[in-house]
Amino acid sequence: MLDHGGSARAGQDGYRDVIDALNTLGLPTAFTQTGGSHAALEVRLDDGHTLLVTDEEESLSWDRDEHAGWGVGLYRPGSEYDDGPLAFHSTAGSSLQALLLVVEQLLRHRTGL
């Protein structure tokens, strides 16, 4: 059984292509735990907002082989995710391209806030 650090490294390694792609687009991304052993990708935006990337209907699967769709929430600056997202978009598609489309939708939504 992996310890917390080993689990986080395994999760980060499993989503390395996604993390690298978002970082390349200027969206600083890190694998994180949101509490209760729930995983997510956290994207800190320049204006202080945060994107939290999960599976479509639940937290991000620790095992990439079990990953199902994408869900992305836009959170206000300083939020610890307790008050819910300002906006949320999801897709059943599990490809990197499907995620990038959802992220693009949320970034456009953010400009209207």
Q: CA nearest 42: which of 68, 17, 74?
A: 74
Q: What is the pLDDT of residues 70-87, one digit of tens each?
A: 999 999 998 877 789 999
Summarize pLDDT for 96-110 with one digit per residue, the tens: 999 999 999 999 877
Pick the more confident residue, 6 or 52: 52
| % of the chain surpassing 90 pLDDT | 68
pTM for the full predicted model: 0.89
pLDDT score at 1: 38
